[in-house]
Structure 1
Amino acid sequence: MTATIAEPVAPAARPVSVARGYRFELVKLLSQWRIRLLVLACWIAPALFVAAVSQQSSLPVDTLFGRWMNATGWAGPLVMLGFAGTYALPLLTSVVAGDAFAAEDRLGTWRHLLVAVRSYRRIFVAKALASLTVILVLVAGMAVSSTVGGVVAVGNRPLVGLDGHLLAPADAAGRVLLAWVCVLAPTLALAAIGLLGSVALGRSPAGLLLPAVVALAMALAQTLPLPVAVRLALPSYAFIAWNGLFTSPAQVGPLLIGIGVSLLWTAVATVLAYLVFLRRDFTNLSYDGSGRRALTVGTLPLAGLLAVTVGIIAASTPAMGSGIEQDKLQQSIATAFAHLYRQQAQQLNRPDVTEEQLATTVACTKGDGRVAAQGPGNDWRCVVSWHLPGVEATGSAIYQLDVMSDGRYVADGDGPKEVNGYFQVRTPTGDQPNPLWQFDGNVELLSTTSKG
């Protein structure tokens, strides 16, 4: 009788948990010199830039809130936010999310990663979460750094809103923070598009540049005279809709729609990236992406999403035409002028009057009355009239306006000189900037904002 010895059965290998995969991917990202350089730049460069510009006599007045950079520290982070939404954030998402999967193609490490983790789903989730974490760190760095630079260099002072009213430092701080939080939604949309490009196009440079190219195309579209429904259906609109937070009452309608659209694009693009990832051929070490797959699984669904979103917005909101109308513009200018007139009166030690006492009215024409008074353009001309208590004569001032497609406008004073025709006013303490000379405003594209 012979005895048989059974061979020990090796335990089945268990997939690596999402938490361990996430830590591994995060360490890989932060070990790259370009990521470390970006983190360092985002946490230091904005503070230096804002502090340096705030001390200059020549300010970036063509940038929203740029004219107030030497008056309050809360203007600096808003100037930086405008720059970030146009240039910095699309590039950051390209470098981080656009390279999340393509890096494995370049290095040829997919086989090793798959053997170690043993789960496509866990690999995708770990890479997406690691990319999201790094992007949040970069955005937080820009927000904190620019705020610190502005407050330290200029001071914690009130901020002039886009309707001329003064925001107390605490109120300004809260709205600045909320504005930075709001742009996270379109940033996530670009990051999801970056993940989709990185998966679908492999190590092709097109995948790395996809978020930046998409952001550039959407930014160009926002400058065109498109219908409001199309403008709001683009996730990039949330990069500029935060302007509405700095009016009273806040213009939150377009902002909420922009955030919702951005989050919807984030979800759809992430799901598409996951589906493409499940169908990837990891046995081909020279994989450079599939143009047909990128078109059928990536471009066409997102184009369809845009079309559906445009239809829903057009059907559910008054979003016909450009959204820039004569009545809205006149009401916005009247509100801003009344608030700013009170500030000028305080500078000149004149008796204080309320906005109701001024009874400001505005009459605007476009193209010297030869074209319809609606839509963007730099050919708007507005005459502002107001009354002072106890004075029979009616005051008047002229403004030339440059109204942009997104509803923002710049009002340039055209006289009389003692009101808005010169960039400074002579006060008992010396010459000071004239708040009525030039000012920025914002027209809500969806509906008329009540006068405040």
Structure 2
Amino acid sequence: MTATVADAPASAARPVSVARGYRFELVKLLSQWRVRLLVLACWLAPALFVAAVSQQSSLPVDTLFGRWMNATGWAGSLVMLGFAGTYALPLLTSLIAGDVFASEDRLGTWRHLLVAVRSPRRIFVAKALASLTIILVLVAGLAASSAVGGVLAVGNRELVGLDGHLLAPADAAGKVLLAWVCVLAPSLALAAIGLLGSVAFGRSPMGLLLPIVVALAMQLVQLLPVPVAVRLALPSYAFIAWNGLFTSPAQLGPLMIGIVVSLVWAVAATALAYLLFLRRDFTNLTHDGSGRRAITTGLLPLVGLFAVTAAVVSPATGATGSGIEQDKVQSSVATAFAHLYRLQTKQLNRPDVTEAQLRATAACNKGGGQVAPQGPGNDWRCVVSWHLPDVEAAGTAIYQLDVTADGRFVADGDGPKEVNGYFQVRTPAGDAPNPLWQFDGNVELLPTTPKG
């Protein structure tokens, strides 16, 4: 009798786990000299830059918090945050997320990767998580390096907020850290757009440039006098809205909207990239992106998402027009003046006075009263009045204002000289310009009271 031995069924090959794929993709990214240089630069360059600029007599006063860089170490980190939101983070997300899929197209390694992992879904998740990890490391480096460089070079001192009030060193440190955490949301949105471009355009340079192009377009919109709803509907506003943390009370409305919008954009762009990736024909070695289909299924939905968010933000917030109105400008200028007057009083060793005693008010017009007092422009003029105890006559001071479309303004003293003229005062950090000479402020674009 002949015995028949049945062959044991071959065990089915199982896909590689996401954890192993993630480690593999992370090692691939960190093995690139370009990525290593970026990590090194983000952890070293900000500290050197902030330390060097803080010791200069000429400060970047046109940058938010730039005028305070030689007064406190925390101002330098905020200057770096403004630079990062405008230039560094769009570039970093392009170089990391915008190339994570396209690199496989250039090297022709998709077939080898699919054979090894055996799951396009897990490949996408592993690559997305690896690129996100590197981006978080880069952002953490920018934040930590700039803060350490500023504190070591200048010191852990009080920070003057955007309404003139003083933040204790511990409070300033917490607000600076929170501001860097808040910009992670728009960074994720740009990273997701980078993933979408890398998947949709393949080895085409357009995929790598997509986050930069989108970021520049959104920044251009932020510079224009567009309605508030349009401004808030773009993820780029979260790169600006952190300045609301440095007023008292904090202007959290625009910041929270910016973060939510950024996260919605991040989820939508990642989902579109995922769907395009799963539909890709990996057997076609000449594949170079999805061409017209990438635009119709990838970019047009983002345009539609922008339209939807803009339509939702306007009725939800009651925001109309530019958001820059006469009463808001007057309130912001008067509040900042009162706080900074107390700071000047302390520096000049005069008797202290409270904001309630000062009763500071501001009367502002635009274009010499010839145009409607609303909207951005460098033709705002404010007359500030205040009272001192036991002094019958009210004091007055004149300021010329340059109000930008995002609500930030620079107030330039225009007399009297002994109040808001240029002169040096003694501070713990050394001689510094009169705090009432020039100061930054912020006008909240959303209505201060909900509309019924």
Q: Same fold by TM (over 0.5)?
A: yes
Secondary structure of the residue aligned to 1:419 is helix
Distance, in Å, in 2 between the alignment partners of 1:179 and 1:89 is 14
Cα deviation 1:233-267 (Å, max 9, x = unaligned): 00100000000000000000000000000000000
1:306 aligns with 2:282: no
1:132-171 → structure 2 map (5 Å cutoff): 132-171=132-171
Q: Indicate the larger mover: 93-102 or 7-16.
A: 7-16
2:82 match: 82
1:443 aligns with 2:434: no
- Percent identity over the alignment? 83
* Aligned-pair CA distance for 1:424: 2.4
Q: Could you list the runs of 5+ residues in structure 2 that have no partner in the other structure? A: none
2:419 match: 419
1:30 match: 30
Distance, in Å, in 2 between the alignment partners of 1:159 and 1:152 is 15
CA contact (8 A) 1:408 1:440 kept: yes
* Aligned-pair CA distance for 1:3: 3.4
Distance, in Å, in 1 between the alignment partners of 2:310 and 2:427 is 52
Secondary structure of the residue aligned to 2:249 is coil
2:232 match: 232
| 2:277 counterpart letter in structure 1 | F
Distance, in Å, in 1 between the alignment partners of 2:373 and 2:111 is 64
CA contact (8 A) 1:385 1:395 kept: yes
* Aligned-pair CA distance for 1:9: 3.0
CA contact (8 A) 2:413 2:438 kept: yes
1:42-441 → structure 2 map (5 Å cutoff): 42-425=42-425, 431-441=431-441
CA contact (8 A) 1:333 1:441 kept: yes
Distance, in Å, in 2 between the alignment partners of 1:70 and 1:426 is 13
* Aligned-pair CA distance for 1:295: 1.4
CA contact (8 A) 1:348 1:427 kept: no
CA contact (8 A) 2:338 2:355 kept: yes
Judging changes above 3 Å, is the alpha-carbon distance between structure 1 residues 363 and 36 closer, same or farther for their aligned structure 2 residues? same
* Aligned-pair CA distance for 1:429: 11
Distance, in Å, in 1 between the alignment partners of 2:357 and 2:367 is 32
* Aligned-pair CA distance for 1:2: 3.3
| 2:64 counterpart letter in structure 1 | L
CA contact (8 A) 2:96 2:134 kept: yes
Secondary structure of the residue aligned to 1:350 is coil
* Aligned-pair CA distance for 1:404: 0.4
| 2:222 counterpart letter in structure 1 | Q
Distance, in Å, in 2 between the alignment partners of 1:434 and 1:285 is 67
TM-score in terms of structure 2 length: 0.97
Cα deviation 1:27-50 (Å, max 9, x = unaligned): 000000000000000000000000
| 2:231 counterpart letter in structure 1 | R
Distance, in Å, in 1 between the alignment partners of 2:34 and 2:425 is 49
Distance, in Å, in 2 between the alignment partners of 1:448 and 1:286 is 57
* Aligned-pair CA distance for 1:427: 8.8
Q: How many pairs were matched up? A: 450
Q: Indicate the larger mover: 10-19 or 440-449.
A: 440-449
Distance, in Å, in 1 between the alignment partners of 2:431 and 2:44 is 34
Q: Indicate the larger mover: 281-290 or 27-36.
A: 281-290
Cα deviation 1:4-61 (Å, max 9, x = unaligned): 3433432111100000000000000000000000000000000000000000000000
Q: Indicate the larger mover: 284-293 or 298-307.
A: 284-293
| 2:20 counterpart letter in structure 1 | R
Cα deviation 1:268-296 (Å, max 9, x = unaligned): 00000000000111122222212212211
TM-score in terms of structure 1 length: 0.97
CA contact (8 A) 1:348 1:428 kept: no
CA contact (8 A) 1:333 1:362 kept: yes
